[in-house]
Amino acid sequence: MQHLDVNDTAAPDAVREILSAFVRRTGLEPAAAVPRRYLWTDAFAVGTLLELHRTAGDREPLEWAVRLVDQVHETLGRHRPDDSRSGWISGLDDDQGRLHPTSGGLRIGKRLPERGPQEPFDERLEWERDGQYFHYLTKWMHALARLARAVEEERYLRWAIELARAAHAGFSYSPPGATGKRLVWKASIDLTRPLVPSMGAHDPLDGLLTFRALRDDALRLGWSAADVGLDRAIGELRSMCAGRGWATADPLGVGGLLGDAYRLALLSRTDDRDAALLPALVDGAAAGLAALASGGSLCGPAEARLAFRELGLAIGLHAVPRLAGLVERESPQAAHLRELRRPLEVLLPFVPLAANLEAFWSDPEHQRVESWQGHLDINDVTLATSRMPGGLLGT
């Protein structure tokens, strides 16, 4: 099986330029009185700053990553300035809140306040309203775990695990008359009520893989399973994933599937309990790529496209050569990985699309359009992550 080299020697300088502008524009450097923090974007930024530090040996990105984590917690771990409530959303006092900044979850960072209990649902407005998203929280857990390893400080892993516990407790519920549990897609800032009750297509998968990785990290540090306290949640998320289909034609969703397939393959080296999901993830991603290729949505003018969704696909495509390399190394001893050799042959021809998307969205002309400028922070950070995806994807 042949696969492409994932190295991009020009990336560090380009990524540093992008992220330097991002940390200044959003109020991290210099620190603003009211910084502009958004959990999804910041999670990607932390991972990419760590990868930039690891690759280039530059200490400043590591310092930015540490300060970004602190600023996210101080901003999104607290109630909004325009909220009648104040302090940590966990309800802890100021000192305890700083010791456990994630124990009540973290706000999304949306522009508008969350919808009140008596306000009618408006789908268009809901996209702009604050609250909590499960899949944003899992991204932040992953970023905290990466930082814990980078600086060898266990508190970041503890915060990630406390966030996992809070997220599962706040988002999972038992539907009336049904067996098993489900997740709401969006919850209130204080995690007391659902704002969008339907379940995100990939949220249980994100939770399962992220919680498993956190548990593995903690066990390696000598924690007991009881100390971690995630076994029940992992079992419930595993049940939610059973028998599900994963196909999607959304570029960001396809990229997520590819990244998740690689993460699961890494986890399966020591515990293959969920390895049966691997062929379905790869097949779902292949179906999505075929649909995108035939639909032509990735070939239109810049103003009709959303860069961060396409760059999310590019990030996932960078996982394919990594997955192929893992299969080559491990498959002689692992039957579940041997089964991926043929499906990966379908995915590998799509890998050059990542470079095409990065080149398209690096073009200054394409960055002048409203679809880029209107989502500047998330577009910039996902472009940087796609150029240096190791911080998000792992080794």
Q: Does residue 127 contact residue 67 with C-beta atoms inside 8 Å?
A: no
**If you search the block for the tokens 């992953």, which residue do you land on?**
142
Q: What are the structure tokens assigned to 4, written together?
A: 């492409």
Q: What are the structure tokens assigned to 100, written together?
A: 């456990």
CA angle 217, 223, 226 (to 5 degrees): 110
**Of 13, 10, 20, 18, which is closest to residue 355 (Cα–Cα)?**
10
CA distances (Å), 232 to each of 72, 156, 178, 222, in order?
28, 22, 18, 19
How does 302-331 read in b/e, with b if 16+ C-beta sit within 10 Å?
Answer: beebbbbbbbbbbbbbbbbbbbbebbeebb
What CA–CA distance (Å, rounded) separates 194 from 191? 8
Chunked into runs of 10 residues, the chain (395 residues) has average pLDDT values of: 50 95 97 96 98 93 98 98 96 98 98 96 96 98 98 98 98 90 97 96 97 98 97 97 92 97 95 94 95 90 97 98 93 86 94 97 97 97 97 84
Q: Running DSSP on this structure, what letter comes out for residue 176?
A: T
How buried is 288 (Cβ within 10 angstroms: 0-12 exposed, 13-18 middle, 19+ buried)?
buried
pTM of the model: 0.95
Contacts 24+ apart (CB under 8 A), 201-204: 201/246, 201/248, 201/253, 202/135, 202/246, 202/248, 202/253, 202/256, 202/257, 202/260, 203/134, 203/135, 203/138, 203/171, 204/237, 204/240, 204/241, 204/244
Q: What is the reported pLDDT for 6?
A: 45
CA distances (Å), 352 to each of 48, 72, 309, 356, in order?
21, 35, 17, 7
What CA–CA distance (Å, rounded) separates 86 from 79? 5
**Of 395, 243, 260, 269, which is closest to residue 337 (Cα–Cα)?**
269
How does 85-94 read in b/e, with b if 16+ C-beta sit within 10 Å?
Answer: eeebbbebee
Q: What is the reported pLDDT for 68?
A: 98
Per this entry, what is the length of the chain? 395
Element (H, E) at 352: helix 352-362
**Of 71, 202, 183, 67, which is closest to residue 132 (Cα–Cα)?**
183
Q: What are the structure tokens assigned to 171, written together?
A: 């988002």
What CA–CA distance (Å, rounded) separates 165 from 103? 8
